[in-house]
Amino acid sequence: MLIVKKQTQKRLASIVLMIMVTGILTACNTSTATTSNGSNKEEVAEADGFAMGTVILQKVYGANGQATIDETMERIKSLEALLTFNAPEGDIYQLNDNAGKKNVELDPVTLKIINKAQEVAELSNGAFDITIGPIVKSWGIGTEQERIPPKEELQKLLPLVNYRDLVVGENSAGLKKAGQMVDLGGIAKGYAGDEALQIYKKNGIKSAFINLGGNVVTLGNKPDGSPWTVGIRNPRPQDAASGQQIVGIVTVADKAVTTAGDDQRFFEKDGVRYHHIINPHTGYPAQSDLMSVTLITDSSFNADAFDTAVFVLGLEKGKELIQKLGGIEAVFITTDKKIYVTDGLKGNFKLHDESNEYQYNE
């Protein structure tokens, strides 16, 4: 039936045309559907770095993502050299080395961090105290030397813990007593987070996050316009051999989220957990009613500076401090597995607890 009428030819032609058109439309649809979840097809760079005693994860969207990540990592490493008490050329090493002897000239960044730490110490009645150095060293938690120090040793070291003995001037600072030591472990990463954010913004980045060992800073929304989904860790995963489990989720944009918990660095002996957040008044890991606290606020510096204090203070006093400060929201997880959130999070926080062991009363 090769000879076809003209009319049938026209019909056939239009059918073929329709098939082609729908074929093209279908192909376009499916290629959109198979685009990665960053639907803007924006370039993304990711990296794990190691600095400040922890792993630093960066995820940056934009054409200059990798360059931005590299620049940020470099800045973090130079901050580490300045602020760690291990590096002999660094400020903190010099400060500690001259305890009881003389004041030491310090970099403006070091002074900024120390001043903030002192402010937090005052506001929290010493629940956060950067002169905790000798005690931290004595416990060695997270190092190969971790141990339970003998009581007599702690009693001898405790008088050295006193933020009032750290005298801060315009360009210098000094520790009054020999043997005193400043440790910025509880605040340096938070400061670094804010600097990272500045670098991202300077480079025109609109969407990114960084996680400096528990200090998360988010910039903007994700490329698809949705906020970042941040998980709140389960401090007692039922299956202890099962990665990081979560108990809840918050969504944020342009916020810092920091979690301080007794599950980050610890060792167990005879069924007792010894974690890394030392109570400056007792010299022992803080025994508050909290297993973890997560702070959400604009500044990563503030989030890190205050989360240790809030953890040590416990639920009631911690909440009071946060309310006094303003601009900070929090998720508390108590030792009896209850979750509390501040008012500003009530519409945001979602329980997401596979273990089914936690209670969240809105």
Partner 1 sequence: MKKFEKIIAGVILFLSFVSIGIMMFSKSNAPNSNVVIKVNDKVVKEIPMNNSSESKIYDFNFNDHIGQVELKNSKVRILEMSRDLCPNGICSKTGWIDKTYQSIVCLPNKITITIQGGKEKGDEIDVIP
- From the list 110, 138, 288, 294, which residue makes contact with partner 1 (rule: CB under 8 A)? 294
Ramachandran sector of residue 189 (left: φ over 0; alpha: ψ -120 to 50; beta: rest): alpha
Nearest approach in angstroms of CB 131 to partner 1 is 26
Map residues 138-157 to x or -, x wherever contact with partner 1 holds by CB under 8 A: ----x-x-x-----------
Q: Which residues are bridge partners to 104 per DSSP? A: 173
Q: Are 256 and 216 in contact (CB under 8 A)?
A: yes
Is residue 11 close enough to count as binding partner 1 by CB under 8 A?
A: yes
Q: Are 164 and 117 in contact (CB under 8 A)?
A: no
Map residues 24-63 to x or -, x wherever contact with partner 1 holds by CB under 8 A: -xx--xx--xx--x---------xxxx--xxx-x-x----
Is residue 299 close enough to count as binding partner 1 by CB under 8 A?
A: no
Reduce the DSSP state of residue 45 to 3 states and report it.
Answer: strand
Is residue 19 close enough to count as binding partner 1 by CB under 8 A?
A: yes
Tell which residue, 80, 158, 185, 166, has the closest CA to residue 118: 166
Report the site for partner 1 in 195-214 (rule: CB under 8 A): 209, 211, 214
- From the list 109, 249, 325, 351, which residue makes contact with partner 1 (rule: CB under 8 A)? 249
Count of C-beta atoms within a 10 Å radius of residue 137: 15
Q: Which residues of 116-129 are buried (b: 16+ CB within 10 A; e: fewer)?
A: bbbebbebbebbbb
Tell which residue, 32, 284, 270, has the closest CA to residue 154: 284
Q: How far apart are CA 184 and CA 163, in angstroms?
A: 12
Q: How far apart are CA 37 and CA 58, in angstroms?
A: 18
Nearest approach in angstroms of CB 340 to partner 1 is 18
Is residue 159 close enough to count as binding partner 1 by CB under 8 A?
A: no
Is residue 278 close enough to count as binding partner 1 by CB under 8 A?
A: no
Map residues 218-247 to x or -, x wherever contact with partner 1 holds by CB under 8 A: ----x-----xxxxxx-----xxxxxx-x-
- Which residues bind to partner 1, rule: CB under 8 A? 11, 14-15, 18-19, 22-23, 25-26, 29-30, 33-34, 37, 47-50, 53-55, 57, 59, 142, 144, 146, 209, 211, 214-216, 222, 228-233, 239-244, 246, 249, 257-259, 294
